A and B are shown apart, each in its own frame.
Chain A
Amino acid sequence: MDKNGRAMVVGAGIAGIRAALELAETGHKVLLIDKSPHIGGILSQLDYQFPSDHCGMCRMLPMIDRDDSSQYCLRKGLFHENIEILLSTEIISIDGEPGNFSITLRRKSDWVDSQRCIGCGICVSVCPVDVSDEFNEGLSYRKAIYLPVPHAVPSPYTIDAKACTRCGACEAICPTHAISMSSQERKQFRILVVDDEMIVRSSLMEILDTEGYSAEMAESGQKALEKLAQQPYQLMLTDIKMPGMDGVELLQKAKSLYPDLPVVMMTAYATVETAVEAMKIGALEYLIKPFDTEAIIDKVFKVYEKFELVHARKEEVGAVILTGGTAFFDPKQDKNTYYYGLLPNVMTSLEFERIFSGTGPTQGNLVRLSDGKPIRKIAWLQCVGSRDIQINADFCSSVCCMFSIKEARIVKEKSNGSIETVLFYMDMRTDGKSFQRYRDQAESLHGIRFERAKVHSIAPDADAGDLMLRYTDISGKLHEETADMVVLAVGQRPSSAAKLAESVGIGLNSWGFVQTSPFSPSKTNRPGIFIGGSFSGLKDISESVIQASAAAFNASKTIQRATCNVQRAKTDAPLLQKPPRILVAVCVCGNKNPLLRGAGVCQELVKEWMSDPAVIVAEFTDQICSEQGEKSLAELVGKHKPDQVLIAACLPYVYGKRRRELSQRIGIDPLLTEVVDISSLSDSEMIRCAVGMGIEKLRRMEDLPIETLPVKQKALVVGGGIAGMTAALGIADHGFEVDLVEQGEKLGGNLLWLNSSIEGYSMQTLLEETLPKVEKHPLIHVHTQTRVVSSYGQAGDFITTIESKETGVQTIGHGVSILAVGGTEAIPTAYGYGKSSNIVTQKELEEKLRNKTLDPLKLGTVVMIQCVGSREEPRNYCSRVCCPTSLKHALYLKEQNPDIDIYVLYRDMMSCGFAEAYYTQARKSGVIFIQYDPSNKPEVKISGNEVRVIADEPIIGKKIEIAADLLVLAAGIVPNLSNSLTHAFGVSSDQDGFFQEADSKWRPTDSMTEGIFACGLAHSPRSVSESVATAEAAAQRALRILTKNQLSAGRVTAKVHHSLCSLCERCIEACPYEARMIDPEEEKVMVNPARCQGCGSCATVCPNGASYIQGFSRQQMLAVIDAAFI
């Protein structure tokens, strides 16, 4: 493959994993790097996710060509053919241009050889160091040698170079000699200590010696220069005040001779200014006497780290995706009115996630860490570090409301409702599809209390450890409330990787988050470098995942342009039709397994296995997982030429790639290799059983041809709004034909009437730029005034009938369908809509402003009512765009005519993310916002031309009456996804009529039917740029199929013995992937191999044993079970 067909993904959090998988699935090679020693990012710390309150990350695993990836828990590890993962690796520089980037990486030295480490953990038991564990947010302690994430596999122990004292205890005890301390490396780091006082010199020497550095001393500047002339040093520490040549003079002389020598000045308080001056002429740093040992170690280590990190590595890639994630606000900063860090039971939401996690410091028990007391009451405080102008956070972090509700619900569930929970909030921002119902349920079903109030401070209560919260409710009454624990819902901050982005020329916004392009939220100002996930700020998981897919899409486009076609190499090794010849290789795992140490036991086992005619050779080898072991296995295979290979070792999923490599080398099918896990078996009898089971499985392994389905490399996009056009363009730019079907006369959808985004970007420009590209694209066939009549088929092979007045009925064959039918403004049924020309919707106002039929100068008073028909049954969802739209209009009207009085009546202002700044701006410009409760809605009185709005002002506690020249209703969005359309495509819609995704977090643009995707407003209410992101994500998902000329099913799929089948259809019901159907003509149950994921649900419900899973046949499984009992 061309080197430029590769992409690099920087940051292996959820977005990074997603982007990497997306590219890997379209056949690109991906280099996934992370600076931490583990993958998973912040999600490795979070066990439960909204809305299922479970994990479910594995749903992101490939479903097409699933054999390329280990079907294994993604939280634990990612194993894909096309993805190479580099951990503890950072980017130093990115040079070059799209299609041809040259990237310099540096990898922290590994003291633990992951090839040799068997994860026994003996090293941890001897490590004398205790440091706070960042995995548990500092709530527990760990050793200097540790597992960064306890559940990760293969479990790579890591040494915390900073905390490690280099005592060498772990190195000595490691049974596989996997640890090699870089003590030798440290000894190569030579430090010269210059001071005229003996006591200072010797104490410094002692500190540096213990840390493992080579330190030498000189008592004067002259002596120091002599020493420097004799041999090179990597660091010099020098005193400033010395008789004869002083420190500054020494610095000058040393720097002129050895310009690269880092010099740290040592100074007393009195001469700090001199030290600062010294830094101007080249000193690196200064240390203040008397010394703080920690500070010295820290500073020296920083210099050492640079010296040590010489393992720079160059990589050539075609595109780069930055998925640097997000950081969180530290409540200790600034005023800290909640006494975080001072009161033990005040914790951040992330810390609290660790409290209820099974791998957390309390093993998931809801007790207080400070005194072990069971928790009875928890209070959540929202907007800590968000929506706070005093700390430069004029933005809403977008995720805290939902994660706090989730945490409260989990607490309720875990405690059977016995723990009291209360959320203190300003606006409860439930701005997603199912969010509002989730919140309503939290209140009505789980009994979580929602209190609209801002707690201003927390004080210790009389009872030890309890906390007193003071706040004022909406009516102005003052309250004091105690809680056992307070959780601060901390807001987001730019991650440390933002600096990296800046250093490679990517702009940041005023809060330090990465700035992305208008209307294309994954593009940056540097072509070829894209942003995925929450790196550009303030996104929840599903938006992050969508944006990661969008970034992958753009990266793929870049690579596609640079190279052309990505071809995949598939080997089809001949399958076996003769008696089995099995090779058994048992790993003794560095003699860790005491059972296998005795030669007698081994011989006995070998003898027994060899007595089976199917086994041609059985051998014990050491560490098959290591390079050495792999070699010896290859030798064995070369010598005996077996047809099947059984490896008894550990962690079968890790071997996926290696098994394939091995099979390729020997020339057998990977299915004819098997790995059994014997790492946790405690007696030789069990090992005998396990190996016996493996032998039985291989003995009866059948011929499993991979079924392939030809792909029609063409796409159908339904809907010609911005989402549909973006998706169509994206697919066409990848070189595939697209049929774009639009019901209306013109392409453009909602862009035809929208003026500008809240940020002021013109929608017209966007439309003008996009339209010609679509209309003139040679691969896009636009069908306007056309509707879809029916569609049937499966991923890769759909046939759709479309109908238009002009051309009549037409049939299109295509491989994927993207539904981008959009949405429209709901028609209000309340507040006198339709009874007066002075009552309009937001859309009508936008149109009036656009065609200038409304003169802002003639308006005296404007009232806007939010949530008209939204966020209450039957349309109990937030439409997400209405609050920003009202703000946009209010600001526009105020700008045109500052004398207009504008009143916005709202329930919760949903100015999420950076839109919050416009909310502040609107308040500042004098727009009056009045909160109303759905149980007490504003009233509208119409008499003649006059419209009067009467509402309760909750703060003043009085009714106010406003005579409005214009009443604007924010009616919300309803999807255009009609029942006939969902029926035609066989997809489902949710209860509000939006597209029902396969999984709202992990497969947000997929339908349950592979090959059909959705984006834009038909998917969920969203802004234009968010719609573009879903369109790009859907296009990327579609490309997984389109880039292949045939789809290969997994090896392990379901089959039917038709002679045994009684057509009871239970299997059809049981199949979660809709892979089964009845063929009415043949009267047979058919399995769609591309949809089937080999889960086995059908086989278990089948009363006749007619349904079975290939590679898990009845005879084979029974033989395996027998082997286990013999």
Chain B
Amino acid sequence: MKTEHSEASDILAPVRKMVQACIQCGTCTGSCPNAFAMDYTPRHLWRMVMMGLTDEIFNSLTFYLCSACYSCTLRCPRGLPLTEAMETLKQIAVKENRLVNKPSQLFYRNFMESVRRHGRVRETEFMTLYFMDMKHPFLPFRYMPLGLKLLRKGKLSFQLPSGGNTLDALFRKAVEAEEANP
């Protein structure tokens, strides 16, 4: 394998800048509560960023699985903005249309859709949107036990809030800003 820092990897430039001072100590991986589920640990991912392994990075699940707990950012001895770097990778994936993880993407999209509509998440609506987008008839059944548990604890509300479209303007502005400043 030859390391590459060619044009193709330039889309990683903003992330590389964030993690360049990394000394591979592994504090981030050790700290990460989700590392067990990731295909590459955070340290591994940063190393791939440094080496410009663009395809491998965007084919991995690692950055989707970051739950933004900030444990790594808190502890990194280099003071690197690691949570932000994960976030940036998600954004690049969207922008570059390199989303491989469809469920994650749909999850985020529908989550934000619900937020856009009501200014907060409505679990029932969000679930419905997500299941519909996934186009998977048996998927809801898989979530049944969790759903029942949430229901029992009164965490699910079937009522839609009144008002609606509360954050529409904000979302529009964000899109405009992004378009003006790609």
Q: Which of B1, B16, B21 contacts A961 (CB 8 A)?
A: B1
**Residue pair B26, A959 in contact (C-beta under 8 Å):** no
**Set of chain B residues within 8 Å of A1003, measured between Cβ atoms:** none
Cβ-based interface call for B41 (8 A) = yes
Cβ-based interface call for A879 (8 A) = no
**Residue pair B75, A335 in contact (C-beta under 8 Å):** yes
Give CA–CA (A697, B30) in the complex, Å: 71
**Residue pair A953, B51 in contact (C-beta under 8 Å):** yes
Cβ-based interface call for A383 (8 A) = yes
**Residue pair A383, B77 in contact (C-beta under 8 Å):** yes
Cβ-based interface call for A437 (8 A) = no
Given contacts A335-B75, A390-B76, A928-B50, contact A472 B1 (CB under 8 A): no
**Residue pair B47, A388 in contact (C-beta under 8 Å):** no
**Set of chain B residues within 8 Å of A474, measured between Cβ atoms:** 26
Q: Write out, one digit per residue, whether chain B residues 12-39 have a CB within 8 A of any chain A CB (1) or not (0).
A: 0000100011111111011100011000
**Set of chain A residues within 8 Å of B26, measured between Cβ atoms:** 453-454, 471-474, 476
In this complex, the interface size class of chain B, counting residues with CB under 8 Å from chain A, is 20 to 34
Q: What is the distance, in angstroms, from A864's C-beta to the closest C-beta of chain B? A: 15
B42-56 contacts to A, CB under 8 A, are 43-44, 47-48, 50-51, 53
**Set of chain A residues within 8 Å of B53, measured between Cβ atoms:** 956
**Set of chain B residues within 8 Å of A812, measured between Cβ atoms:** none
The residue on A at minimum CB distance from B2 is A961
Cβ-based interface call for B78 (8 A) = yes
**Set of chain B residues within 8 Å of A456, measured between Cβ atoms:** 27, 30-31, 71, 75
Q: Write out, one digit per residue, whether chain B residues 57-99 have a CB within 8 A of any chain A CB (1) or not (0).
A: 0000000000000010011111100000000000000000000
B94-134 contacts to A, CB under 8 A, are none
**Residue pair A454, B44 in contact (C-beta under 8 Å):** no
Give CA–CA (A337, B48) in the complex, Å: 28
**Residue pair A454, B25 in contact (C-beta under 8 Å):** yes
Give CA–CA (A390, B74) in the complex, Å: 9
**Set of chain A residues within 8 Å of B31, measured between Cβ atoms:** 456-457
Cβ-based interface call for B162 (8 A) = no
Given contacts A472-B41, A472-B43, A960-B3, contact A390 B29 (CB under 8 A): no
Cβ-based interface call for A478 (8 A) = yes
Q: What is the distance, in angstroms, from A507's C-beta to the closest C-beta of chain B? A: 26
Cβ-based interface call for A1101 (8 A) = no
**Residue pair A390, B79 in contact (C-beta under 8 Å):** yes
Give CA–CA (A929, B20) in the complex, Å: 11
**Residue pair B24, A455 in contact (C-beta under 8 Å):** no
A937-972 contacts to B, CB under 8 A, are 953, 955-956, 958-963
**Residue pair A389, B51 in contact (C-beta under 8 Å):** no
Q: Which of B1, B30, B35, B74 contacts A958 (CB 8 A)?
A: B1
Interface centre among A390, A455, A470, A931 (most CB of B within 10 A): A390
**Residue pair A926, B20 in contact (C-beta under 8 Å):** yes
**Residue pair A454, B2 in contact (C-beta under 8 Å):** no
**Set of chain B residues within 8 Å of A387, measured between Cβ atoms:** 23, 77
Given contacts A953-B51, A960-B51, A962-B3, contact A389 B78 (CB under 8 A): yes
Q: What is the distance, in angstroms, from B68's C-beta to the closest C-beta of chain A? A: 17
Cβ-based interface call for A1113 (8 A) = no
Given contacts A476-B43, A955-B43, A962-B3, contact A454 B21 (CB under 8 A): no
Question: How many chain A residues have a CB neighbour from B under 8 Å?
Answer: 38
Q: Write out, one digit per residue, whether chain A residues 474-501 have a CB within 8 A of any chain B CB (1) or not (0).
A: 1010100000000000000000000000
Cβ-based interface call for A836 (8 A) = no
Q: What is the distance, in angstroms, from A982's C-beta to the closest C-beta of chain B? A: 41
Give CA–CA (A387, B27) in the complex, Å: 13
Cβ-based interface call for A133 (8 A) = no
Give CA–CA (A953, B53) in the complex, Å: 13
Give CA–CA (A390, B77) in the complex, Å: 6
**Set of chain A residues within 8 Å of B78, measured between Cβ atoms:** 389-390, 920
**Residue pair B1, A955 in contact (C-beta under 8 Å):** no
Interface centre among A923, A929, A931 (most CB of B within 10 A): A923
**Set of chain B residues within 8 Å of A472, measured between Cβ atoms:** 26, 29-30, 35, 41, 43
Cβ-based interface call for A776 (8 A) = no
The residue on A at minimum CB distance from B19 is A923
**Residue pair B2, A963 in contact (C-beta under 8 Å):** yes
Give CA–CA (A188, B29) in the complex, Å: 63
**Residue pair A928, B51 in contact (C-beta under 8 Å):** yes
A306-322 contacts to B, CB under 8 A, are none
Q: What is the distance, in angstroms, from A890's C-beta to the closest C-beta of chain B? A: 13
**Residue pair A389, B75 in contact (C-beta under 8 Å):** no
Q: What is the distance, in angstroms, from A1035's C-beta to the closest C-beta of chain B? A: 40
The residue on A at minimum CB distance from B4 is A901
Given contacts A388-B77, A956-B44, A956-B51, contact A931 B29 (CB under 8 A): no
**Set of chain B residues within 8 Å of A389, measured between Cβ atoms:** 21, 77-79
Give CA–CA (A911, B157) in the complex, Å: 59
**Residue pair A953, B47 in contact (C-beta under 8 Å):** yes
**Set of chain A residues within 8 Å of B75, measured between Cβ atoms:** 335, 337, 456-457
**Set of chain B residues within 8 Å of A453, measured between Cβ atoms:** 25-26, 30
Q: What is the distance, in angstroms, from B102's C-beta to the closest C-beta of chain A? A: 26
Interface centre among A455, A456, A925, A958 (most CB of B within 10 A): A456
Give CA–CA (A931, B23) in the complex, Å: 10
Give CA–CA (A472, B23) in the complex, Å: 14
Cβ-based interface call for A426 (8 A) = yes
**Set of chain B residues within 8 Å of A928, measured between Cβ atoms:** 3, 50-51
Q: Which of A426, A478, A956, A962 contacts B36 (CB 8 A)?
A: A478
Give CA–CA (A953, B36) in the complex, Å: 22
The residue on B at minimum CB distance from A959 is B1
Give CA–CA (A958, B51) in the complex, Å: 12
**Set of chain A residues within 8 Å of B16, measured between Cβ atoms:** 926
A-B contact pairs, 27 of them (CB 8 A): A337-B74, A337-B75, A389-B21, A389-B79, A390-B76, A390-B77, A426-B23, A426-B25, A454-B26, A454-B27, A471-B26, A472-B29, A472-B35, A472-B41, A473-B26, A901-B3, A920-B21, A923-B21, A924-B21, A925-B20, A926-B20, A955-B24, A956-B47, A956-B48, A956-B51, A958-B1, A962-B3
By Cβ-Cβ distance, the 7 closest A-B pairs, closest first, are: A454-B25, A456-B30, A390-B79, A472-B29, A955-B47, A388-B77, A389-B79
Q: What residues of chain A have their CB less than 8 Å away from a CB belonging to chain B?
A: 335, 337, 383, 387-390, 426, 453-457, 470-474, 476, 478, 901, 920, 923-926, 928-929, 931, 953, 955-956, 958-963
Q: What residues of chain B have their CB less than 8 Å away from a CB belonging to chain A?
A: 1-3, 5, 16, 20-27, 29-31, 35-36, 40-41, 43-44, 47-48, 50-51, 53, 71, 74-79
With A453-B30, A925-B20 known, 7 other A-B pairs at CB within 8 A are: A388-B77, A454-B25, A470-B30, A472-B26, A923-B21, A931-B24, A956-B47
